[in-house]
A and B are shown apart, each in its own frame.
Chain A
């Protein structure tokens, strides 16, 4: 892939450069002066924007396993063209999360401890190992793309033979740790605001990450189309949008049923900031997307698909930050807003992620279509050679 514009200075390149400089400076402050000097975190609020970003990064990367299982296990080959971008997104998402976790650790030099010092009763232990294992799985899933570039056919054949077990393992690890992020908050029933606290948090996290991951792929397709002048496969994106619709409905029904059963509905009418934030999250991330997605004209519209994905992603962002920050602030008796260093490091990682995606996409065959020829089984007189589905 050639990119003649690589050396041209553009608005976004300047913005990215400024963000990178600020981020590197903040990283220097964080590693030389510690978390106290670089963040607004405290003993009352030990988890802030960075943990929220971890939730977002992992959740948005959920399309990696969702698309892989649809194509490789359920044989829905319609989505094959987006398998590689989805896996690359997941790979980069997880790498960024790991990087941010290391920055967020009080003693980053001890990041390797969970590998050898096992605490089998800790949710964090499960998350750590699942993230490590799933990152390894993603490496195996993405390896053929790199091997293809260098025409290394022998290892590709081996990877193809083990592809289905690898994908299934990936689904298992993803399911475990996507839900485990919700499990993390089961230990704070008295602190997390009741509208977000639920024993079904792991289930809620898992369901919502599928909708968010697929929406992220839709949103990302537009970014790719914009960055690489790629065409949009609206047929595929509309198919994804339909799945998002069902998942959003299921997620909302599970959540509202749980609230009714556990007697939390009075909190819906309490005039508090948390209540307003809850409504914002549900209206933006569920009601509006469900209304729009339930109508084919919006689901098949190039513009509306983009708008809907923004709504769904915004709702997902609100949900995760509400759980990680908003829902805990009231019980902590203090306020929290991220420091400049927290914001600049977070934005630096976003820029790094986008750069990584662009770099890999331009160096390796990420955007490929079905190469295998298939014969459609038609009557003899009208039989055609079909180059793809």
Chain B
């Protein structure tokens, strides 16, 4: 429709209507919407909580679907992995599940070369937040090499492996390790277990930034927000076997 000059003129001369529409419904609705948002932020502040929009932006989240894992690795119930490499040796490290649960792992101890280790014995230790954690060997054998560049674990399956072991009981050891589709299924179960664990052990779930709900995401490093007892329980339940 083309706008006629008469129509324009009628609106120019008819200025009385300005007074009639002084109460604007549109503004009322928008201001109600905005005022409710502002009140919500104030209420959260009074409760010493943070609105998600203003929460710590650095915290990423993870879930059972956001992990990847090399096809040939075998993972222990203590979340350490072993992978055969050329020469009949096995490279060993920490899996991504633990890395994401703790957020960041600084390694402060690695077992020495030529040390004889049994499956389940501590091979390296690290700290994350206020917690100190021990990681256990997934296999029996003799440590042939250690990763001297390992200070912070960031790339758990490639650059940030821990030790190389000459396996002495590979066939038997791998019976208790997870691989392939069994590993995928087990990891999914581990996520459910982690959510339950966080629900029980976190004093303040919102601080941990986790959800206990179906399919919800867990904030990276959620475990490190727990108190000392919770951190100890995490090691007992997820890193020990």
CB pair B25–A266 under 8 Å, yes or no, is no
Interface: A231 (CB within 8 A)? yes
CB pair A303–B68 under 8 Å, yes or no, is no
| Alpha-carbon distance A230/B218, docked complex (angstroms) | 8
CB pair A325–B217 under 8 Å, yes or no, is no
CB pair B1–A197 under 8 Å, yes or no, is yes
CB pair B23–A335 under 8 Å, yes or no, is yes
Q: Nearest A residue to B17 by beta-carbon distance? A: A330
In the assembled complex, how far is the CB of residue A185 from the closest CB belonging to chain B, in whole angstroms?
12
From B57, B68, B218, give the contact of A386 (CB < 8 A): B68
CB pair A338–B25 under 8 Å, yes or no, is yes
In the assembled complex, how far is the CB of residue B99 from the closest CB belonging to chain A, in whole angstroms?
15
Interface: B149 (CB within 8 A)? no
Q: Which of B211-229 contact A (CB under 8 A)?
A: 211-219
Interface: B63 (CB within 8 A)? yes
CB pair A387–B217 under 8 Å, yes or no, is no
Given contacts A11-B43, A225-B52, A317-B29, A337 and B23 within 8 Å (CB-CB): yes
CB pair A369–B22 under 8 Å, yes or no, is no
Interface window among B2-10, B102-110, B111-119:
B2-10
- Per-residue CB contact flags for chain A residues 254-280 toward chain B (1 = under 8 Å, else 0) read 000000001110110010111001001
Report which residue of A230, A277, A284 has the largest number of chain B beta carbons within 10 angstroms of its beta carbon.
A230
CB pair B24–A385 under 8 Å, yes or no, is no
Interface: A168 (CB within 8 A)? no
| Alpha-carbon distance A326/B218, docked complex (angstroms) | 46
In the assembled complex, how far is the CB of residue A335 from the closest CB belonging to chain B, in whole angstroms?
4
Interface: A33 (CB within 8 A)? no
In the assembled complex, how far is the CB of residue A159 from the closest CB belonging to chain B, in whole angstroms?
19
Interface: A228 (CB within 8 A)? yes
Interface: B171 (CB within 8 A)? no
Contacts of A314 in B (CB 8 A): 30, 33-34
CB pair B211–A229 under 8 Å, yes or no, is yes
Contacts of A233 in B (CB 8 A): 61, 217
Q: Which of B75-96 contact A (CB under 8 A)?
A: none
Q: Which of B21-65 contact A (CB under 8 A)?
A: 21-30, 33-34, 37, 40, 43-44, 51-55, 57, 59, 61, 63-65
Q: Nearest A residue to B21 by beta-carbon distance? A: A329
Number of interface residues of A (CB under 8 A): 75
Contacts of B189 in A (CB 8 A): none
| Alpha-carbon distance A325/B187, docked complex (angstroms) | 56
Interface: A49 (CB within 8 A)? yes
CB pair A385–B212 under 8 Å, yes or no, is no
| Alpha-carbon distance A369/B53, docked complex (angstroms) | 22
Q: Nearest B residue to A199 by beta-carbon distance? A: B1
From A194, A284, A301, A325, give the contact of B25 (CB < 8 A): A325
Q: Nearest B residue to A49 by beta-carbon distance? A: B25
Contacts of A197 in B (CB 8 A): 1
Q: Which of A219-244 contact B (CB under 8 A)?
A: 222, 225-226, 228-233
Interface: A293 (CB within 8 A)? no
Q: Nearest B residue to A223 by beta-carbon distance? A: B52
Q: Nearest A residue to B42 by beta-carbon distance? A: A11
| Alpha-carbon distance A264/B188, docked complex (angstroms) | 60
Interface: A113 (CB within 8 A)? no
Of the four ranges (under 10, 10 to 19, 20 to 34, 35 or more), the interface on chain B belongs to: 35 or more
CB pair A369–B69 under 8 Å, yes or no, is no
CB pair B17–A1 under 8 Å, yes or no, is no
Contacts of B11 in A (CB 8 A): 193-194, 267, 270, 272, 330
Interface window among A23-31, A90-98, A100-108, A360-368:
A360-368
Interface window among B122-130, B138-146, B159-167, B202-210:
B202-210
Contacts of B63 in A (CB 8 A): 369
Contacts of B205 in A (CB 8 A): 229
Q: Nearest B residue to A193 by beta-carbon distance? A: B11
In the assembled complex, how far is the CB of residue A197 from the closest CB belonging to chain B, in whole angstroms?
7
Q: Nearest A residue to B20 by beta-carbon distance? A: A335
Given contacts A1-B213, A317-B33, A337 and B3 within 8 Å (CB-CB): no
CB pair A326–B184 under 8 Å, yes or no, is no
Q: Nearest A residue to B185 by beta-carbon distance? A: A373
CB pair B26–A318 under 8 Å, yes or no, is yes
CB pair B20–A329 under 8 Å, yes or no, is yes
| Alpha-carbon distance A270/B12, docked complex (angstroms) | 7
CB pair A273–B43 under 8 Å, yes or no, is no
Contacts of A274 in B (CB 8 A): 21
Contacts of A222 in B (CB 8 A): 51-53
Contacts A330-B14, A336-B25 known; list 5 others, CB within 8 Å: A231-B216, A306-B52, A337-B28, A338-B25, A368-B214
Which residues of A does B touch, CB under 8 Å? 1-2, 11-12, 48-49, 52, 189, 193-194, 197-199, 222, 225-226, 228-233, 262-264, 266-267, 270, 272-274, 277, 280-281, 284, 301-303, 305-307, 310, 313-314, 317-318, 321-322, 325-326, 329-330, 333-338, 361-362, 365-371, 373, 376, 383-388
8 contacts between A and B (CB under 8 A): A2-B212, A2-B213, A48-B25, A231-B219, A272-B11, A273-B18, A326-B21, A387-B66
